[in-house]
Structure 1
Amino acid sequence: MIQYTACKEFQLLLFITIDKVWDYINQPASNPLLYYNDGSYIFDIPSFNKEVIGEAILNVCCHRSMLIQSDVVIKQYLDSITITNAGGFPSGVDMNNILTVNSVPRSKLMSEVLQKTGLVERSGQGVEKMFYNCIMEGEALPDYSGTDSY
């Protein structure tokens, strides 16, 4: 059993929860800065990227199975964050085609609401943005190996 030092439950509206979750993750003790030297410049890069975490949470909301009663669970470790939801990959999506397949949201209405409120630019870009940001910052890529197909 992996020990944790804190546990927080959020039962708020989605638009409030996203910011609250980030505020909780982005504390100095749990999201330390990594320092990158480039010549005479030093860049401070947080261990966890706000855009990646936000996209992952929005992705969970659009693609979770609403037929299964289950919570979205976010676990933060020193070097990683796991986000799980009910339902696994949508039909037609797997680990091999996640970056190339057209988005298939389980909740089209949720996707449209998130797009109209400006939280997502358009459907199908969330995973791509997460991978891009991780590559640009030299971070580990999102890992979907624990995802099932239902």
Structure 2
Amino acid sequence: MNNNPFSFLIGGIFSLMIAMGIGRFAYTPILPLMQEALTFTDSVAGYLASSNYAGYFVGAILTGVLPLKKHKTFYLRVSLVASIITTCMMGLTQAYILMLIIRFISGVASAFIFVLASSIVLDKLASAGKTNWSGYFYSGVGFGIFF
């Protein structure tokens, strides 16, 4: 296993790009296009956004109460896969209820990724004396939105 703090940093950046930049924030610019194509109201769009926020809230709480410490990397990987799958699934359905469920699950996965990746990467940077690199880690959100 590679214990190089730079490798952890790069992995963390990509994790945040996937979960936060794409899985969470990509919907902001495409939501009006979804509304037009699927002919749903502003209220429906708001419920979709709220479903994701609720999932994010639940996921953040769960990462604090579940015993994830010994298997953080495993749960991070599972959450990354869930984020990718739920992002892809949004393009495959027109069923509003299914979209609500998918966005909720996506929110849970995003929270898990944000909390677990932060924990793993910041711990590794701290143990290597590279805490000044933490800003680079959080740039993953912006890179994901830009991408």
When normalised by structure 2's length, the TM-score is: 0.32
**Structure with more helix by fraction:** 2
Return the structure number with greater relative CO, CA threshold 8 A, min gap 6. Answer: 2
**TM-score (norm: length of structure 1):** 0.32
